[in-house]
Amino acid sequence: MTASIKLYTNHGCPWAHRAHIALAELKLPFEEEIIDLSVPRTADYLAVNPRGLVPSLSYNGHIITESAIVAQFLADAYPSHLIPNSGTPETALARARINFFVDTFFSKAHPHYHKALFAKSEEEAEQAAAEFVKQLEKEVEPLLGDAGPYFAGSKTLTLAEVLTGSFILRLLALPKNGVGPETLVKDLPAKTPNFYKWATAVVEHPSVNGIWDEESVVAKTKARLAKLKI
C-alpha cells in the first residue's frame, strides 16, 4: 500500500529543502503545500505544526516536524543507499560517521559563514569569513578525505548530503553573487580541496538542486540584509 505523504514546505528555506532532497532521492511521491514564511502562519497550519516552522511532513496522517527528524524518518522508513540499516557495529559506525560529519559542519564551520553574511561591518565580515575557512580546513576537511565523490566514498548521495546539500548550495552561490565576502569561497580549492571537490559534486546532483532557484534566493537574501541595515 502506497503511503500518503504530504510535505508542508517553502522552496526558499534551506531546512525544508532537506526534506525535498530526501524525497527526491528515495523517489517517493508526495503532495506539497507551500507555506508563506513572509506572513503570520494561518490557523490551519498552526494546527499542523504549532511552532509554525517548515518542513512538516504528514505521513499517513502522522505529523513529523523538524528537518533532520523528517529526513531521518524517511531514510529509516525506506531503507536505501542514504544510510545503512542499524543492527551491526559496522553499520552503527557508518551512521555515527555521518552524524559526526553533519554535527561538525553545523557546529564548527557554519556559524562563522552565517556571521560573515550578517556582519555589521566589512571588517567583521572578513574576520568571520577567515574563521569559517579556518574551521573548514581544521574540522571538516579531514572528514572528507575518502569522499568519492560523496561522503565516505559513496557513489550515491548519503544522509550527509541530504542534511547539508541545501546549505552547500548557498555557500557556493551567495558570495559569487555579491552576498557576503568573496573570501568565503575564494581559497576553498587551495585550502580545502577535499571539501571543495565534494561540495561541487553535491550541488550538481539533481536531487540537491531540484527546487533550487539561485536568482530568487540571492534576491531575497540581499533584501533581508538591506532591511537589517536600515
Residue that finishes a domain, picked among 50, 77, 104: 77
Residue 191: inside a domain:
yes
Say yes or no: 51 and 107 in one domain: no
Angle, vertex CA 51, rays to CA 45 and CA 53, nearest 5:
70
Say yes or no: 39 and 107 in one domain: no
Residue 83: inside a domain:
no
Say what the pLDDT of residue 2 is: 82
Do residues 200 and 147 make contact, with C-beta atoms less than 8 angstroms apart?
no
- DSSP collapsed to 3 states, the chain: CCCCEEEEECCCCHHHHHHHHHHHHHCCCCEEEECCCCCCCCHHHHHHCCCCCCCEEEECCEEEECHHHHHHHHHHHCCECCECCCCCHHHHHHHHHHHHHHHHHHHHHHHHHHHHHCCCCHHHHHHHHHHHHHHHHHHHHHHHCCCCCCHHHCCCCCHHHHHHHHHHHHHHHCHHHCCCCHHHCCCHHHHCHHHHHHHHHHHCCHHHHCCCCHHHHHHHHHHHHHHHCC
Say yes or no: 120 and 149 in one domain: yes
Say yes or no: 120 and 215 in one domain: yes
CATH code assigned at 175: 1.20.1050.10
Domain total in the chain: 2
Residue 205: inside a domain:
yes
Residue 82: inside a domain:
no
Residue that finishes a domain, picked among 44, 77, 110: 77
Residue 200: inside a domain:
yes
Say yes or no: 136 and 204 in one domain: yes
Say yes or no: 99 and 39 in one domain: no
Say yes or no: 50 and 93 in one domain: no
Residue ranges making up the domain that contains 180: 89-229
Say yes or no: 101 and 208 in one domain: yes
CATH code assigned at 22: 3.40.30.10
Residue 157: inside a domain:
yes
Residue 144: inside a domain:
yes
Say yes or no: 149 and 97 in one domain: yes
Residue 26: inside a domain:
yes
Say what the pLDDT of residue 216 is: 96
Local confidence pLDDT in tens for the 230 residues of the chain: 688 999 999 999 999 999 999 999 999 999 999 999 999 999 999 999 999 999 999 999 999 999 999 999 999 999 999 999 888 999 999 999 999 999 999 999 999 999 999 999 999 999 999 999 999 999 999 999 999 999 999 999 999 999 999 999 999 999 999 999 999 999 999 999 999 999 999 999 999 999 999 999 999 999 988 887 65
